Amino acid sequence: MAWGLNLGDMQLDRGVLLSVFFLIGLGLVQVYSSSYIFATETYGDGLYFFRKQLLFSVLAAGALLAMYLLPWKYSQKVGLACWLLSVICVVGTFLPGVGVRAGGAHRWIALPFGFRFEPGELLRVTYPFALAPLISTYAQGKIDRGWHLRLLAVLSPLTLVYLQPDFGSFVIILGLTACLFLAFGLRWRWILSGALVALPILAYMVASSPYRRLRIEAFINPWADPAEKGFQVIQSLLSFYSGGLTGVGLGQGQGKLFFLPEAHTDFTLAVLGEEMGFIGFFILLMVYGFLVFRGFQVSLQLKKNYERALALSFALLIVFAVFINVGVALGLLPTKGLTLPLLSYGGSSLVATCMMIGWLLNLERGSETPLSFREKEID
């Protein structure tokens, strides 16, 4: 018996759908709880961020259903078109009068009514549509000179992502690329050789950037400068410590009262840890784990390498984003401005993530008998 909701003659995965809307609902609660005081002091309206997130949530739900309901041959064309659009918009972030500079970064495009669009979020979730055809060709051993040029063209927008700078998205996309090639037959020695080349380059990128060096120093020893470089991670850890096992209660956290920077965006997990405790934190990770598990499961059930690469990419993107955000909040990784999928405040991230899940559900609808990643695709 299919575990899903009937929508006409189609089945919609109930577990994935409930997980997504649980996270969106919890995100609304978190945005309200963590931003109310800050919004009141800054904008004179405690519901400023909540109203925006509520609008984003409605748009995100619509985007999810649209990408699911659209026939797959059109939906995948939308995905590729969105990738091309995101590349153009990333270029636009550097143009005067179009791009918005904030915190030393060119990551946003100004929209009417005070809204901003972060094309890097859309680029990250649509990148698999550009890479998957190359992965499929590679898995079938049909590599020619043109293949290498196409791969270079697909990777070239990463230069702009790095220059924005958005080092987190840059690393995630590189990591996703390596994981896909490994899953579809690339030998370990090539991965290790690539890593030996890439790691010194990444180290230079960090060492050559003053703000990245400061983040590494704060990560190594945040207590060396608790009032400046180590302030964010220390306050985050204190919030988790205050929450204990069961939390201090919804809305009762103290970290969001101007102690914890970016409480409604990058460090919303610390607010949740304080107010809902370890139990709430554990449940949240289990929900994310379920989404990732379903993504892997769908990937194994698909027949064509192109589609299997897409499904695997969507699952890995959730893995990377959650891993980095959780690692930063717990002081296990250097501070990086990366939102927690479906939970943190931010319309670009929320809508893009829901589009990605809509594509995953669309793929699941056409899934067939499980196959090994190494098998040739079946037409």
CB atoms within 10 A of CB 369: 9
Rounded Cα–Cα distance for residues 119 and 86 (Å) = 5
pLDDT single digits (tens) 269-307: 999 999 999 999 999 999 999 999 999 999 999 989 999
Q: What is the tens place of the pLDDT at every residue in 32-63?
A: 988 888 899 888 898 999 999 999 999 999 99
Q: What's the pLDDT tens digit per position in 74-84?
A: 998 999 999 99
Question: Kind and range of the H or E element at 109?
Answer: strand 105-110
Contacts of 79 (CB under 8 A, 6+ apart): 67, 126, 128, 129, 359
**Torsion, Cα of 240, 243, 245, 246 (10° steps):** -140
Instruction: Choose from 246-250, 321-325, 337-341, 374-378 the range with maximum mean pLDDT.
Output: 321-325
Mean pLDDT of the chain: 87
Count of CB atoms situated within 10 Å of the CB of 266: 24
Please give the average per-residue pLDDT across 206-223, as a whole number: 84
User: In this structure, are residues 314 and 295 in contact, taking their beta carbons and an 8 Å threshold?
Assistant: yes
Does 260 have pLDDT greater than 90? no
pLDDT at 377 over 50: no
Question: How many whole angstroms separate alpha carbon 302 and alpha carbon 305?
Answer: 8
Instruction: Give residue 367's pLDDT band: very low, low, confident or very high (50, 70, 90).
Output: low
Model confidence band, residue 11 (pLDDT cutoffs 50, 70, 90): low
Q: Which of 368, 7, 304 shows the shortest CA–CA distance to 140?
A: 304
Distance CA(294)–CA(84), nearest Å, equals 28
Measured N-to-C along each axis, helices 231-243 and 305-329 cross at an angle, to the nearest 10 degrees, of 90
Model pLDDT for residues 100-148, shown as the tens digit of each residue: 887 667 788 988 877 888 999 999 999 999 999 999 999 888 888 889 8
Q: Where are the domains of the chain?
A: 11-365
- The pTM of this model reads 0.91
